[in-house]
């Protein structure tokens, strides 16, 4: 008689890692599968599955190595125990992540062989896990935006805004396949923190509260990590449209305004694009040889104030001037933002096409640069401003 083999699991977002496990388990005999209920996944992982139990059961039953599958009758870590007693398989198989002493003990009591398999992908394929997929750019990119700093970067840091208060202006960006690299000035590292909070089911709150939670999660509750990622990253991700944050001697802004006027957003999109430079060099430190003084900080604040009024008035000349003033002030404060290699790349763009003005987004050094009225540069990506809540159930 053919041996009976039993496995149990969530099998959410069925992927190649699941299939490799099922294929290996089926080599031991006829394979029977217990699929966890939705409430079990919520209990064990603190978050609802992407696919319902009916969907997950349908997909597992469709796998050619599976003889029979069903929804596990119990709940919790040992949700399969009644099914195991009923089926009385010859072997119960788990992978490394699913092993626990309670499962081994139950098999000993029932006289069932207990096998623990290593997590091994199919040859030639990458290792996969459901958690990794939920955090990956493929899935996450459909729902989480990026952010571009339009003007005023560094005014969200107390060592700058204590010299002169002012605005940081950010745009929430619709995700794009080219935005994935870290260190490019689009708040990628903060976005990863936000993705983890979303995965944990912690995004059901107002935009400012979610931004504050993300800021604290990335930097530590008391903001004692160094260097501290500025609040504009989290705010730019969490507030839709274009947001203005006013800072005065602190990490968190005194005022936050989010503008969703469709005509204004389309006006910005018509004139601003993103262009990819070479990535920042390893060891890039924008704070190296910084020159903090009140005159330059005030000039930075004046540039962001001009940018704000330019956006509200749809004034392209003022927007162009604000870009130039912002860049000049930042170069006085943080000369390391402007490495020779990046400046040479920007200079070479004039031979490829035309643009009226430019500035780095974020801390500079490379990555993405903002261009005004770019023409003839096929790699330039027109700014696409998003207007989304991070979760559909945000209050």
Q: Which residues span the domain enclosing 96? A: 4-128
pLDDT value at residue 312:
96
Residues 53 and 123 in one domain: yes
What distances in angstroms separate CA 381 from CA 185, 261, 273, 348, one per listed residue?
15, 22, 5, 18
Q: Which DSSP letter does residue 120 get? A: -
Domain edge (last residue) among 69, 94, 128: 128
pLDDT digits (tens, 9 = 90+) for 11-34: 988 888 899 999 999 999 999 999
Residues 260 and 124 in one domain: no
pLDDT digits (tens, 9 = 90+) for 173-207: 988 878 876 568 899 889 988 988 887 778 888 99
Number of domains within the chain: 2
388 in a domain, yes or no? no
pLDDT value at residue 203:
83
* Greater model confidence, 252 or 51: 252
207-219 vs 231-238: helix crossing angle, rounded to 10: 140
Pair 75, 40: CB distance under 8 Å: yes
Q: Which tokens is 115 given?
A: 């096998």
CATH value at residue 11: 3.40.50.620
Cα–Cα distance, 24 to 40 (Å, whole number): 25
Residues 239 and 91 in one domain: no
Residues 218 and 98 in one domain: no
Most confident of 183-197, 261-275, 381-395: 261-275
254 in a domain, yes or no? yes
250 in a domain, yes or no? yes
Cα–Cα distance, 57 to 51 (Å, whole number): 10
Query: How many helices (H) and strands (E) would you count in the chain?
Result: 15, 13
What distances in angstroms separate CA 368 from CA 69, 335, 351, 361, one per listed residue?
49, 17, 19, 6
Domain edge (last residue) among 73, 105, 128: 128
What distances in angstroms separate CA 78 from CA 36, 38, 100, 110, 330, one per listed residue?
10, 14, 10, 14, 58
15 in a domain, yes or no? yes
Q: Are strands 30-35 and 4-9 parallel, antiparallel or unpaired?
A: parallel
Tell me the sheet residues that pair with 257: 244
The pLDDT of residue 387 is above 90:
no
Helix (H) or strand (E) holding 185: none
Closest CA to 46 of 196, 159, 242, 233: 196
Residues 30 and 179 in one domain: no
Residues 120 and 143 in one domain: no
pLDDT value at residue 139:
41
Residues 59 and 189 in one domain: no
Give me the mean pLDDT over the 106-111 stretch: 94
The widest CA-to-CA distance across the chain, in whole angstroms, is 86
391 in a domain, yes or no? no
392 in a domain, yes or no? no
224 in a domain, yes or no? yes
Helix intervals (H) in 206-358: 207-219, 231-238, 262-271, 294-313, 316-333, 340-349
Domain edge (last residue) among 77, 107, 128: 128
Residues 115 and 150 in one domain: no
User: Across all residues in the chain, what is the average pLDDT?
Assistant: 89
Cα–Cα distance, 256 to 88 (Å, whole number): 62
pLDDT value at residue 134:
58
Point out the least confidently predicted range of 167-181, 206-220, 240-254, 352-366.
167-181
Q: How confident is the model at residue 227 (pLDDT cuts 50, 70, 90)?
A: low
Closest CA to 370 of 282, 259, 269: 269
Give me the mean pLDDT over the 54-83 stretch: 93
390 in a domain, yes or no? no
The pLDDT of residue 101 is above 60:
yes
Give me the mean pLDDT over the 75-89 stretch: 91
Residues 231 and 146 in one domain: yes
Residues 165 and 194 in one domain: yes
CATH value at residue 197: 3.30.230.120
Residues 293 and 239 in one domain: yes
Give me the mean pLDDT over the 275-285 stretch: 90
Cα 382 to the center of its chain, rounded Å: 21
Residues 257 and 122 in one domain: no
The pLDDT of residue 393 is above 50:
no
């Amino acid at each position: 008689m053919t041996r009976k083999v039993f496995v149990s699991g969530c099998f959410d977002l069925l992927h190649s890692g699941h299939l490799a496990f099922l294929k290996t388990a089926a080599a031991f005999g006829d394979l029977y599968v217990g699929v966890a209920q939705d409430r079990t996944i919520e209990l064990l992982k603190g978050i609802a599955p992407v696919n319902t139990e009916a969907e997950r059961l349908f997909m597992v039953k469709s796998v050619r190595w599976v003889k029979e599958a069903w929804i596990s009758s119990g709940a919790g870590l040992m949700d399969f125990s009644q099914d195991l007693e009923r089926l009385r398989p010859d072997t119960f198989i788990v992978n490394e992540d699913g092993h626990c002493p309670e499962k081994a003990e139950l098999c000993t009591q029932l006289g069932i062989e207990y096998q623990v398999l290593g997590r091994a992908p199919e040859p030639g394929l990458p290792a996969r896990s459901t958690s990794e997929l939920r955090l990956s750019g493929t899935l996450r990119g459909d729902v989480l935006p990026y952010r571009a700093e339009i003007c005023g970067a560094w005014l969200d840091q107390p060592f700058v805004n204590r010299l002169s208060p002012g605005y940081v202006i950010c745009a929430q960006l619709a995700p794009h396949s080219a935005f994935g690299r870290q260190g490019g000035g689009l708040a990628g590292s903060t976005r990863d923190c936000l993705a983890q909070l979303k995965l944990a089911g912690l995004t059901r709150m107002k935009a400012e509260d979610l931004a504050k939670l993300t800021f604290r999660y990335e930097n530590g509750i008391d903001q004692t990590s160094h260097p501290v990622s500025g609040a504009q990253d989290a705010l730019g991700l969490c507030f839709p449209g274009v947001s203005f944050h006013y800072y005065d001697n602190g990490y968190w802004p005194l005022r936050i305004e989010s503008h969703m006027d469709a005509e204004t957003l389309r006006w910005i999109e018509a004139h601003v694009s993103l262009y990819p430079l070479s990535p920042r060099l390893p060891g890039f430190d924008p704070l190296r040889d910084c020159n903090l003084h009140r005159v330059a900080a005030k000039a930075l604040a004046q540039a962001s104030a001009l940018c704000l009024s330019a956006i509200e008035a749809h004034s392209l000349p003022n927007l162009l001037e604000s870009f130039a003033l912002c860049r000049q002030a930042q170069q006085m404060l943080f000369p390391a933002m402007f490495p020779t290699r990046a400046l040479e790349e920007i200079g070479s763009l004039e031979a490829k096409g035309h643009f009226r003005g430019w500035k780095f987004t974020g801390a500079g050094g490379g990555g993405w640069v903002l261009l005004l009225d770019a023409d003839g540069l096929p790699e330039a990506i027109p700014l696409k401003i998003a207007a989304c809540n991070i979760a559909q159930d945000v209050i």
